[in-house]
Structure 1
Amino acid sequence: MATQRPPEPPTPPPGPGEGSPEEQLSEAAVIAMHSDPRFQTLKKSLYSFIFPMSLAFMAWYLLYVFMTAFARDLMSTQLFGNVNLALVFGVLQFVTTFGIAILYSSYSRKRLDTAAAVVREALENGDGGTGK
């Protein structure tokens, strides 16, 4: 009967100052890219969608929570059959979540993907951080 050897432990990634010169150059390019105007514009475009949409969703969610906690009479209003206002609010939370995901996908496709491709290409071509 043959015995199996235990698997080799994974090798840790190289630390700072280790690795090939190409790895060091790409790391330096990535760090330099943070000050590149193209990257700054991309980041600003991303944040201009994420922050307002996150705040709007949190406000909508907190409205649901507070109304459930403090406006029980209103939330227990029967709309039809066994469906009350609280149930409709709860289902609308899911609808809102999917709606935001669809909006983000569209926004990303129209405004972020092209700019991200330009930034990625600049990094791959060694143009990181120069803004050319």
Structure 2
Amino acid sequence: MPRHDPAQHRPDPGAAAPGLATAEEVRESPEFAALQRRFRRFIFPMAGAFLAWYALYVLLAALAPDFMAQRVGGSTITVGLLLGLGQFVSTFAITMVYRSWADKRFDPEASALRERIEGVA
């Protein structure tokens, strides 16, 4: 008498439920490619601008210490301190800009693609 093998009745984890797309189908879709392009067109310039700003700060600190040591308004605050604080401010600003962009332009389309795989989110 043949033995019952429960592995024979398990669904394929890579297979989509009826009416739904597989992850591979979505990954190869033009919608997914457009979403990737949109993400890269936003992220790469933003990251490049931030890295250039950071490199400028480091170069000024290394090559122009007299400029960085200039006092602002006769107080104990220096140009270097203000530029250093500007690094934190720009990081938070970039985060807020990204979050707003993602909420409006990226997440709705990413959610629609996820729903094609999983069904109702």
- TM-score band by shorter chain is 0.7 to 0.9
Unaligned runs of 5+ in 2: 1-9
Q: Which consecutive segments of 4 or more residues in structure 1 shift more than 3 A?
A: none
Which amino acid counterpart does residue 23 of structure 2 have in structure 1?
V
Aligned residue number for residue 115 of structure 2: 121
- Give the % identical residues: 37
Query: RMSD over aligned Cα, in angstroms?
Result: 1.7
Residue 91 of structure 1, aligned match among 76, 85, 90 = 85
Q: Which amino acid aligns with 1:73?
A: D
* Count of aligned positions: 106
TM-score, with length taken from structure 1:
0.75
TM-score (norm. length: structure 2): 0.81
1:25 is aligned to 2:25: no
Q: Equivalents in 2 of 1:24, 1:52: separation in Å?
A: 35
Aligned counterpart in structure 1 of residue 46 of structure 2, from 40, 43, 53: 53
Deviation of the 1:39 alpha carbon: 0.8
Unaligned ranges ≥5, structure 1: 1-19, 126-132
1:35 is the counterpart of 2:28: yes
